[in-house]
Amino acid sequence: MVDTHCHIFSSDYNNIDDVIKRAIDNGVRMIIVNGCDAKTNNEVLELVKKYDIVYGALGIHPEEVDNYKDEDIDFIIKHIDDDKIVAVGEIGLDYHYDYDKKKQIMLFKRQLEIAKSFNKPVIIHSRDSIQDTYNILKEYNVKGIMHCFSGSLEMASEFIKLGFLLGIGGIVTFKNSKKILDVLKEISIEYIVLETDSPYLAPEPNRGKQNEPAYIGLIAKKIADIKGITYEEVNSITTSNVSRLFDKQLMI
């Protein structure tokens, strides 16, 4: 299995060695750790060097729009082609809170330009901003993952047409997750990848606890139930989807 989106940083975990061991013991073959700001982008570089199964994405999260500096963007450019750095992420738009939308869009586009220039996939955060996110992505010839996808079936289809996969995480196990369940029933598993978003959004029966990549199997089991296929098929197909997206950048 592959966890395509998590944040296993020292600020949240006392012992990352144990987190990695539990992931491996639970069948996880690869983890993509997503940076969000200058501090976590630096930590991504440390993690990919220390752990064989860890790969990285570098990006500035939209919630950091008032905090980032130009040198943080320069850092991404400098390291985006480092070994095991496979994507620009986590980037995007977040209109849920009162962050300046125009500044968010400018930051988003700056990072999409990096992805386009270096031919890297992107890992997209979109909260209460799905239409603007889609309109902007249409301007760029990039592919990637719609992290924690929660939009409509229609929007799922449109993002897939642009070359995006849908990241499905712990929310799919929640009792009030009817919207994403409806999408999953209709969308081919060929366009789905697994993610935990650790340390957030732990799947049932661990909801409310600190999430970690070891729980990815609970998400895979739920998707298997929804799609009427085996757990093994979910793992095989979603791993193949990751390989297809990232081409030869991954050792899986």
Tokens of 125: 């955060």
* Cβ partners under 8 Å of residue 176, min gap 6: none
Q: Which residues contact 245 (CB under 8 A, 6 or more apart)?
A: 121, 143, 144, 145, 165, 193
CA distance 6 to 201: 11
Alpha-carbon radius of gyration of the chain: 17
- Transcribe 203-235 into DSSP letters: PTTSTTSPP-GGGHHHHHHHHHHHHTS-HHHHH
Measure the CA–CA gap between 55 and 191, rounded to whole angstroms: 21
Q: In this structure, what token pair is assigned to residue 40?
A: 């976590």
Query: For residue 250, what pLDDT band results from cuts at 50, 70 and 90?
Result: low
Q: Which helix (H) or strand (E) holds 18?
A: helix 16-25
Tell me the pLDDT tens digit for each residue of 197-223. Answer: 999 999 999 999 999 999 999 999 999
Count of residues making up the chain? 252
Ordered domains of the chain (ranges, CATH) = 2-249 (3.20.20.140)
Residue 252 has pLDDT above 70, yes or no: no
In angstroms, how far is CA 105 from the centroid of its own chain? Answer: 19
- The string of pLDDT tens digits covering residues 38-60 is 999 999 999 999 999 999 999 99
Q: What is the mean pLDDT of residues 107-135?
A: 98
Q: Compute how many other C-beta atoms are within 10 angstroms of the C-beta atom of residue 68.
A: 16
Taking the C-alpha atoms of residue 37 and residue 114, their distance in angstroms, rounded to an integer, is: 16
Spatial contact of 215 and 165, defined as CB atoms under 8 Å apart: no
Q: What is the mean pLDDT of residues 178-194?
A: 95
Q: What is the pLDDT of residue 185?
A: 95
Segment among 53-57, 113-117, 146-150, 246-250 with least mean pLDDT: 246-250
**DSSP string of 11-70?**
TT-S-HHHHHHHHHHTT--EEEEEP-SHHHHHHHHHHHHH-TTEEEEE---GGGTTT--H
Residue 120 has pLDDT above 80, yes or no: yes
Q: Are 142 and 92 in contact (CB under 8 A)?
A: no
